[in-house]
Amino acid sequence: MKQVNLTNIRKKAKRLLFGMSGHDGLMVKVLTYLLLIGIGFVFLYPVLYMLSYSFKDIDDLLNTLVNWIPTKLYIDNYIRALEVLDFWPILWQTLYVTIIPSLLQAFIASIVGYGFARFTFRGKRLLFLLVLVTFVIPPQVTIIPKYILFNNIHILDSLAAYILPAIFGQGLNSAIFILIFFQIFRAIPLSLEEAAQLDGAGHFKIFFKIAVPMASAGYIISFLFSLVWYWNETYLASIFLGEKLTTLPLQLQKFVATYSKLFPVQGTNGVSINEGIELAGTLLTTIPLLIIYFISQRWFVESVDRTGITGE
Q: What is the CATH number of the domain that holds 214?
A: 1.10.3720.10
pLDDT at 268 (0 to 100): 43
Tell me, yes or no, whether 116 and 184 share the same domain.
yes
Q: How many CB atoms lie within 10 A of CB 85?
A: 22
Tell me, yes or no, whether 111 and 203 share the same domain.
yes
8 A C-beta contact, residue 28 and residue 18 = yes
Number of domains the chain contains: 2
Q: Does 147 fall in a domain? A: yes
Tell me, yes or no, whether 162 and 252 share the same domain.
yes
Tell me, yes or no, whether 93 and 54 share the same domain.
no
Question: Domain boundary residue among 36, 58, 76?
Answer: 76
| Chain length of the chain | 312
pLDDT at 30 (0 to 100): 77
Tell me, yes or no, whether 222 and 134 share the same domain.
yes
One pLDDT digit (tens) per residue for the chain, 312 residues: 545 565 666 666 566 555 555 556 666 777 788 888 888 888 888 888 899 889 988 888 888 887 888 888 888 899 999 999 999 999 999 999 999 999 999 999 999 999 999 888 888 889 989 888 888 888 788 889 999 999 999 998 889 999 999 999 888 889 999 999 998 898 888 888 888 888 888 888 889 888 888 888 889 889 999 999 999 998 889 899 877 788 999 999 999 888 888 877 654 455 678 888 899 999 999 999 888 888 887 776 666 666 554 443
Burial class of residue 200, CB neighbours in 10 A (0-12, 13-18, 19+): exposed
Tell me, yes or no, whether 153 and 251 share the same domain.
yes
Tell me, yes or no, whether 71 and 214 share the same domain.
no
Q: Does 312 fall in a domain? A: no
pLDDT at 169 (0 to 100): 87
Tell me, yes or no, whether 104 and 128 share the same domain.
yes
pLDDT at 243 (0 to 100): 77
Rg from Cα positions in the chain: 27
pLDDT at 58 (0 to 100): 86
Q: Does 88 fall in a domain? A: yes
Range of the domain at 108: 83-307
Question: Domain boundary residue among 56, 76, 96?
Answer: 76
Tell me, yes or no, whether 212 and 233 share the same domain.
yes
Question: Domain boundary residue among 14, 48, 76?
Answer: 76
Q: Supply the angle between the helices 216-232 and 87-118 in degrees, to the nearest 10.
A: 140
pLDDT at 24 (0 to 100): 60
pLDDT at 311 (0 to 100): 40
Tell me, yes or no, whether 64 and 88 share the same domain.
no
